[in-house]
Structure 1
């Protein structure tokens, strides 16, 4: 299996990807649901970090530091930076932000690597729905230093139109911030994995294709 196929199977085995009938926050009725909160063990987190590292290496994204937006992005960035070192021999730094700036000790908004101008930074997050994490992260990072944000890596690109535009959140992010968002897999990869028997779910395939046709953003 490719790393993308392995990741889809990993999501299903971990309970992070399920099929059925779900009402999303947007109000849409979807035949699949992604819940990254179901990665709960050390082994799962270590494996998840490897998939992030695979995506970074596969897309040849330049990086010196991984940034994990608080709070969900913190363990993801830590797992990914470890995997980059152990699997790819890349000794990359990491940092994350505090929700409130610390006014004692070393102070500041960030923990970990102290950012510097032109530093190549990748933002690590789970999924992108509205682009809120990126929208909040970019000014925080730029306030610390004039960093070069070379990309954002997420687990799944739903490739789904937002409620008020024909563009997906990933497409809108590039227009708004000039930041390319890379995903380990996208919905088309998941549909193909079902077709190829990598994971169960063929009974939901027709619904997934219909949902993609109705709400999918143009590629």
Structure 2
């Protein structure tokens, strides 16, 4: 895992952050780091976490011989020298970069775009002899036609309504169960069919008919059992 780099200093001088000279030893760097961190620690009033981070980065950079050598080498590089008088004279003698910077354009002495036309016409030709064509002389042919109406009337609703199949509110199974429940000796079968129809109703009145069939079938079956047992 690599430590912090020179870019983590955000352009600050590590020697200035720790308050040590460029010839400071490792012991001096560690002692200065401990002292500065105690002053700007975030737990202290007025402390700064950012300054504490910069102090840690400065210590790590100066304690690493390779990164310290890189930083010292970057400090030793001379900055760009100011332009000399010879460079200023050469820049003044250079021609203008664009046409608009020349003296002819500024003073109006040079050629302009209105002196010579790109083509020549006979002296008798004139653009004012004939009127310019206009796109509005004649309207388009589709203007004479009125636009189609956007609203369309609904179709007439005359005549009888369309035939719809009748709604079977009661299924055949419920009816058979009710008939069997009413019959004396078929009451057990009506009870069974009524329970089956009650579990899968197919119409709005199917459940009610199935309940009636189950009730009648249960009562008749009960009396049938009592009659058979009493013999």
**TM-score under structure 1 length normalisation:** 0.20
Structure with a larger share of its residues in helix: 2
| TM-score scaled by length of structure 2 | 0.19
Larger Rg: 2
- Of structures 1 and 2, the one with the larger relative CO (CA 8 A, separation 6+) is 1
Structure with the largest fraction of strand: 1
